Amino acid sequence: MKIIKTSDGYKVCRIKKDGKYEYLADIAHYDQEIRKLIDTLDGLKFDSLIFLFGIDTGSYLEQLKKCLCSKNNVIIFEPNPSVFKQFKAALSDNIRLVFYEEKLVKQIFEQTITLKNINNIYFYAFGNYQKIYKKEYDRLIEHLDWTITNAASQVYLAKRFKNVFIKNMIANMKIINQATPVNNYVFSNKDVPAIVVSGGSSLDQNIKDMVKQRDKLNDYFIITGSRTLKALVENGIVPDMVVSVDPVDANYEMMKDYLDLDVPLAFYEYSNRYLLRDYSGEKILISLLLSHTIKGMENVKSVYCGGSVSHACIDIANMLGCSPILLTGQDFALTNKKHHADSALFPFDSTSRYDAQILIKDINGNPIETTVTLDSFRRNLEYYISCYKDRPRVQFINCSYGAEIKGAPHRELSEILEKGTFSGRKTPCRPDHELNINPEKTIKTILEFLDNYLTKTSQGLELCQIILSENNSKSLLEVEEDDIDLQRILYILQIVNNIENDPYNQFIGGYFTEFLYDMKEKNNHMSAKDFDRLTSDLQYQTNFLNEYLECLNKILAEVKDTIVSTVSEFYQSHIV
Q: Does 216 score more than 70 pLDDT?
A: yes
Tell me whether the omega of the peptide bond preceding residue 324 falls within 30 degrees of 0, making it cis. Answer: yes
341, 212: one domain: yes
Torsion sign over Cα 247, 250, 256, 260: negative
Containing H/E element for 222? strand 221-225
Question: Is residue 165, in this structure, part of any structural domain at all?
Answer: no
Instruction: Write the CATH number for 67.
Output: 3.90.190
Q: Does 7 score more than 80 pLDDT?
A: yes
User: From residue 113, how far is each of 1, 50, 109, 119, 146 by CA, in Å?
Assistant: 33, 11, 6, 10, 11
Q: Does 369 score more than 90 pLDDT?
A: yes
* pLDDT average, residue stretch 201-221: 96
Which residues span the domain enclosing 529? 439-570
* Runs of H (alpha helix) within 320-398: 372-386
| Top-confidence residue, 533 or 562 | 562
With a pLDDT cut of 90, the percent of the chain lying above it is 73
58, 24: one domain: yes
* pLDDT average, residue stretch 522-545: 71
Question: Is residue 433, in this structure, part of any structural domain at all?
Answer: no
Q: How do residues 421-444 score in pLDDT, each as one tens digit?
A: 888 899 999 999 989 999 999 999
Question: Is residue 312, in this structure, part of any structural domain at all?
Answer: yes
Residues 6+ apart with CB under 8 A from 399: 202, 206, 326, 327, 328, 330, 410, 411, 412, 413, 416
155 — pLDDT class (breaks 50, 70, 90)? confident
Residue 194's DSSP bridge partners are 221, 325
119, 41: one domain: yes
29, 100: one domain: yes
121, 189: one domain: no
Question: Is residue 170, in this structure, part of any structural domain at all?
Answer: no
d(CA 273, CA 175): 9
* The pLDDT of residue 83: 97
69 — pLDDT class (breaks 50, 70, 90)? confident
Strand ranges across the sheet with 325-328: 179-181, 283-285, 265-267, 241-244, 221-225, 194-197, 325-328, 396-398
Q: How do residues 114-128 score in pLDDT, each as one tens digit?
A: 877 888 899 999 999
Query: Would you state the torsion angle of the CA atoms of residues 311, 312, 314, 317, taken in this order, to the nearest 10 degrees?
Result: 170
Q: Does 524 score more than 70 pLDDT?
A: no
Strand 73-78 to 49-53 pairing: parallel
From the list 104, 113, 124, 105, the residue with the least C-alpha distance to 56 is 124
Instruction: Write the CATH number for 200.
Output: 3.90.1480
User: From residue 452, how far is each of 165, 455, 509, 519 by CA, in Å?
Assistant: 22, 5, 17, 21
Q: How do residues 263-275 score in pLDDT, each as one tens digit?
A: 999 999 999 999 9
* The pLDDT of residue 533: 63
d(CA 510, CA 60): 41
Q: How do residues 343-353 score in pLDDT, each as one tens digit?
A: 999 988 878 78
Q: How do residues 20-54 score in pLDDT, each as one tens digit?
A: 999 999 999 999 999 999 999 988 888 889 999 99
Amino acid at 216: K
pTM above 0.85?
A: no
61, 205: one domain: no
* Average pLDDT of the chain, as a whole number: 92
* The pLDDT of residue 166: 95
Residue 418's DSSP bridge partners are none
7, 91: one domain: yes
* The pLDDT of residue 42: 87
d(CA 309, CA 363): 22
Q: How do residues 299-329 score in pLDDT, each as one tens digit?
A: 888 899 888 999 999 999 999 999 999 999 9
* The pLDDT of residue 355: 85
User: From residue 98, how far is each of 50, 51, 148 by CA, in Å?
Assistant: 13, 11, 20
Question: Is residue 431, in this structure, part of any structural domain at all?
Answer: no
Q: Does 487 score more than 90 pLDDT?
A: yes
Containing H/E element for 491? helix 484-501
Question: Is residue 36, in this structure, part of any structural domain at all?
Answer: yes
* The pLDDT of residue 46: 80
d(CA 321, CA 309): 19
Question: Is residue 235, in this structure, part of any structural domain at all?
Answer: yes
* pLDDT average, residue stretch 72-83: 96
Residue 124's DSSP bridge partners are 52
d(CA 100, CA 58): 16
Question: Is residue 166, in this structure, part of any structural domain at all?
Answer: no
274, 332: one domain: yes
* pLDDT average, residue stretch 85-97: 95
236 — pLDDT class (breaks 50, 70, 90)? very high
58, 135: one domain: yes
202, 318: one domain: yes
Q: How do residues 548-558 score in pLDDT, each as one tens digit?
A: 999 999 999 99
* pLDDT average, residue stretch 79-108: 95
Contact (Cβ atoms closer than 8 angstroms) between residue 264 and residue 242 = yes
With a pLDDT cut of 70, the percent of the chain lying above it is 97
What total number of domains does the chain contain?
3
Backbone angles phi, psi at 22, to 5 degrees: -135, 145
d(CA 246, CA 251): 7
Q: Does 526 score more than 60 pLDDT?
A: no
